[in-house]
Structure formats: C-alpha cells, structure tokens
C-alpha cells in the first residue's frame, strides 16, 4: 500500500503510517492479545555521531496498533484490555511473539505482559 500525493508535501512518515495501517488491517489479535509496533532505536548520538547497529539497544517502548476484544471470566463476561490503539506502552525486555507484516516488524503480547502505559 503505497501512498502518493500530487503536491508531495506529505513526508515519508505519513507514507509509513499508511503502509503500517494497511498491514495491520490484515491481522486482528484474539482475546487479550495486543499488537505493538516498537519505537525505532536512535541511530545517532546527541552529539550527532552515527552509532553502529551493534551498539544500538532494542527499545522497550512501543505503540499499540491493534487489540483483541479481551479475555472472558468464569461467568463468560468479556474483560476488556487495559490498553487501546494508539497508546504508548512499556514492554518487557523479553517475551512476546515477533510478527512481520508487509516487511514491518511487530510484537504480539498479552495485555497482562505490558508493564505500563505512558501518559501524555
């Protein structure tokens, strides 16, 4: 899903958002699962020096791009997830399932595995 505009004033960031949205529409998490897009790691230092890929740490921060309906309790009632699409969240260092959709990498985690939500 490539977006082209006649005026060209939309940057690469908008194009990436449209491509990511198209990929996510193909995948719907089940139950209490949450699909998260990790924040890209910084490739430059504060002083402007380019960092080698081997020295860049994996980021534990991400943005929720899709959520399941929630988990059912013993009575059959649905308990909704604690996060919603668009929330910025803190992920555990290890865990989750890596998923690649249209060459974009996502992490699928349970709602209970998310460590916290950032407030703006």
What tens-digit pLDDT sequence spans the chain (120 residues)? 443 444 444 455 545 555 555 555 677 888 889 999 887 666 666 677 766 666 555 668 888 999 988 888 889 898 888 888 888 998 888 888 888 888 888 889 998 888 888 887
Confidence at residue 45, expressed as pLDDT on a 0 to 100 scale: 60
How many whole angstroms separate alpha carbon 84 and alpha carbon 80? 10
Four-residue CA torsion sign, 93, 27, 65, 54: positive
Of 10, 114, 120, the closest CA to residue 62 belongs to 114
Residue 2: per-residue pLDDT: 40
């Amino acid at each position: 899903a490539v977006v082209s505009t006649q005026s060209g004033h939309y940057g690469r960031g908008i194009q990436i958002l449209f491509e990511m949205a198209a990929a996510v529409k193909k995948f719907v998490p089940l139950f209490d699962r949450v699909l998260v897009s990790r924040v890209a790691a910084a490739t430059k230092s504060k002083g402007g020096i380019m960092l080698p890929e081997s020295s860049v740490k994996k980021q534990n921060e991400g943005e929720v791009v899709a959520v399941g309906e929630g988990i059912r309790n013993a009575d059959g009632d649905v308990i909704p997830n604690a996060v919603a699409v668009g929330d910025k969240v803190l992920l555990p260092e290890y865990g989750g399932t890596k998923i690649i959709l249209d060459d974009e990498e996502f992490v699928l985690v349970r709602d209970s595995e998310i460590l916290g939500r950032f407030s703006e």
